[in-house]
Amino acid sequence: MKGHHVLLVVGLLILVGLFGCRSTKYVPEGEYLLNKVEVDNQAKDISNEEIKYYIRQKENVKILGFWRFHMGLYNLSGRDNSKGFNQWLRRIGEEPVLYDELLKEKSNEQISLFLKNKGYYNAQVSDTVLFYNNKKAKVRYTINAGERYSINKLSYRIDDDSIRKYVYADTAKTVLKSGAPFDADLHDEERKRITQNMRNEGYYGFRKEYVYFLADSALGNYRVNDSLIIVKDRIQESGKADSIISHRKYKIKDVYFMVGYDPQKAVRKGADYMNQFDSLEYGECKILYADNLEFRADVLVNSNYIFPGDYYNQQLVEKTQLLLSELQLFRFVNIRFKIVEGESDSDGNGMLECIIQLSSSKMQSYTVDLEGTNSSGNLGAAGSFRYKHKNFLRGGEVFDMRFRVAGENQIAKDKSTFQTLEYGGDATLTLPKFMVPFKVDNFRRRFNPRTNFTLSYNYQRRPDYTRTIANGRFGYAWKSSPLVSHYLAPIDFSVINVPYIHPDFKSNIDSTFLRYSYEDHLISSTSYTFTYNEQSIAGNKNYHFLQANIQSAGNIIDGVASLFSSRNGEDYNEVLGIRYAQYIKADIDWRYHMNVNRANSFAYRLFVGAGYPYGNLTVLPFEKRYFSGGANSIRAWPVRGLGPGSYEETQLNYYNQTADIKLEANAEYRFKLFWLLEGAFFVDVGNIWTIRNSGHEEIDAMGLFKFDKFYKQIAVGVGTGARLDFNYFVFRLDMGVKARDPILPEGQRWILGRKAINWNDLAFNFAIGYPF
């Protein structure tokens, strides 16, 4: 932000702080500001947060736990509604919440109903309202919950003999077990579960309205005998009484793929729309297409679970929807069914036509971008060209090619700036199947796998070294559930060339094992990544994210090299004249986001990682080593400016501290201010350590990981930040302050509260996106 914009924001914050406390400015005479809502809850298994959800009127939102900032913005506005500034303040602020007797009574009713649905049938909800002379009111809801009712036993009454066996076969999975709370939500969950099972068994017309419950609470002792009842189907006929019939199973008669379906044309042309489609038959399915079929027919059939002669199965319909949607060939996928009137098979099962409407997507695209970059907190500019083909070999293969050039400004230890240059390209071909020498059709339909082939080249130039990386990778990606994804790269081969090292940097590492990280080397590795991500389904709710990686390098190539190559008097092997790395590396990244309300949230992160080099190269390659500090790490230190352990680099002007182990934990409180502006307070703790002696005496003494010492070398940074949230990206400025510095002598490492903060204890990070 420019200087005058910063002054405007600071000035506005001061005004809100000084005058926003006039919280009753817009409270009319005879009205009261709802200053506080309290809940005195005696229900053992119900949290206050759950109760508050049913309170119809809540006080104005606070940030920092006490400041009604948004109401303060509203109160800064003048009474003249015609002025634009006043309108703007009211739009970005929050109108004072005035106490409403009717909403209080409604809250009582809602809380009582909620408690009864949770099994607290004797709950009593009362309220107390306190009015103060300063035109403020406080409401306290008191909940005397009483005893919670639980299920004594569950019995079944199934009116339809034809479905009884399916229900009884699945009773072990019921959520309504003896001793469970008599909870309306559990009953609704059971209705949905039974309905899903019945639809998976071919009962296309089965709905949860056919399932209901009767409860007998005469047993006493707060126990309920529960009865689950499933009724027969009902057919309405014009001019006649409803007919009660057994539920009917349905089979698939025909499956039609309508490729190139245009819903707008279908509406305009009506029945004539179908006449323009050509057709072909493949794998028992009929494929209708307008113009040309741009891909092979097996692409559709291999992504399909619905076939003629099979019983209707809701779960398979959902899987087919997912597989077809992830092909990237279609803008939308719509699967619909039509009952074939008057037709049935020899067993009396009804017949269904399945129509899969597929609206085609554009197959090729390219983009040219100019962008701002953020590499570990260092800002720069980049330009890129990207070409994408979604049907490269007419089998749903995605070819993605990109070229990119970027430059960044970074800050050296003497506060001077230096530039880095990076350019390169990559090309990836993704196949919508597993490329393996054995048949995996069931795996394909269950997990929607992908096979990736990637080639890439990258050139990096810094003042202390120049490096190139050429990489080839072959991998598999699949999803075992909507939240869990996997990636296995059995072959990942890189050639790293270091054509230049600055003499000062070279002389500093020449006598240590670290020099091997900056020599030409090969990496041949196998890796696996597990990802669990709730963010896509969370919305405004809390969510977890977990990613675990494990990688092993050099073992296969070492076995081959030891047979066919000579060591030439050295204590290591080479392939094509280049030394190769051997190591094992694993790390875990866990994150948790907790949304308190629309203005407040917390984010937490824990990272644990370690790499162990051995065999042919006794140090981790530079590109595989861990570093700490910067905009997405411990923000009170510059990028690569912390560690290892309590070691302080004094010989070089450029930060370049790396190691084999990394432990890091972060916590951040985020709060919305006004317009696009958000604020944050954070705490970052952690460090990096080496795992074995490097030959550098000082690093080995201060940076080696030891169980009785590492916790004394933990760095702590605290700070505050401002963010501009533009929805499609977030621009971030964080200021970190060193609270505990491990390079200081023991007993003097805590800085905050013990000595004055100087400029070297501060770090400013400009970045794009949230840190985690």
What are the residue boundaries of the structural domains of the chain, listed by start? 3-144, 150-245, 250-360, 365-455, 456-768
Residues 474 and 452: their CA atoms lie apart, in Å, by: 6
Query: Which two tokens mark 238?
Result: 């014009």
- Predicted local distance difference test score (pLDDT) of residue 259: 92
Mapping DSSP to helix (H, G, I), strand (E, B) and coil, where does residue 19 land?
helix
Cα 104–chain centre separation: 37
Question: Do β-strands 150-158 and 223-230 pair in parallel, antiparallel, or remain unpaired?
Answer: parallel
CATH no. for 456-768: 2.40.160.50
What is the DSSP track for 187-201? HHHHHHHHHHHHHHT
**Considering the chain, what is the average pLDDT of its residues?**
88
Task: State the pLDDT at residue 595.
Answer: 92
Question: Contact at 8 Å (CB) between 408 and 380?
Answer: yes
Instruction: For residue range 219-229, list pLDDT tens digits in order.
Output: 888 999 999 99
Quote the pLDDT of residue 513. 65
Task: Please tell me the least confidently modeled range out of 35-44, 236-245, 545-554, 644-653.
Answer: 236-245
Q: Which of 668, 534, 684 is nearest to 600 (CA)?
A: 668
Q: Are 705 and 643 in contact (CB under 8 A)?
A: no
Residue 503, H or E segment: helix 503-509
What integer pLDDT is reported at residue 444 of this predicted model? 65
- Which residues have CB under 8 Å from 466's CB, separation 6+? 459, 460, 498, 499, 500
Domains 250-360 and 456-768 share a fold: no
Neighbours of 747 (CB within 10 A): 6
Is 3-144 CATH 3.10.20.310?
A: yes
d(CA 514, CA 464): 14
Beta bridge partners of 601: 595, 670
Higher pLDDT, 408 or 404: 404
- The CA–CA distances, whole Å, from 447 to 436, 437, 443, 476, 478 equal 15, 18, 6, 11, 6
- pTM of the entire structure? 0.85
Contact indicator for 627, 377 with CB cutoff of 8 Å:
no
Give the position of tokens 């309306």: 184
CB 360 within 8 A of CB 331: yes
Is the pLDDT score of 325 beyond 70?
yes
Q: How would CATH label the architecture of 150-245? A: Roll (3.10)
Are the CB atoms for 76 and 89 separated by under 8 Å?
yes
Angle at the Cα of 81 (from 78 to 86), degrees rounded to 5?
A: 50
Q: Is the pLDDT of residue 4 over 70?
A: no
Contact 334, 356 (CB under 8 A): yes
pLDDT tens profile 441-463:
666 667 778 999 999 999 999 88
Cα 35 from Cα 137, distance rounded (Å): 6
Query: Closest by alpha carbon to 324, among 358, 297, 278?
Result: 358
- Residue 497: in which H helix or E strand, if any? strand 484-501
Residue given tokens 């990394």 in the structure block? 662
465-478: b (≥16 Cβ within 10 Å) or e: bbbbbebebebbbb
Closest CA to 772 of 710, 726, 721: 721
Tens digit of pLDDT for each residue in 727-748? 878 889 999 999 999 999 988 9
Q: Which CATH superfamily is domain 250-360 in?
A: membrane protein fhac (3.10.20.310)
pLDDT digits (tens, 9 = 90+) for 557-581: 888 877 666 555 567 888 878 889 9
pLDDT tens column, 529-555 = 999 999 877 666 899 999 999 999 998
Kindly write down the DSSP assignment for every residue of 682-748, as one continuous string. Answer: EEEEEEEEBSS--S-HHHHHHHB--TTTGGGG-EEEEEEEEEEE-SS-EEEEEEEEEEE-TTSPTT-
- Amino acid sitting at position 155: S
Cis peptide before 499 (omega within 30 of 0): no
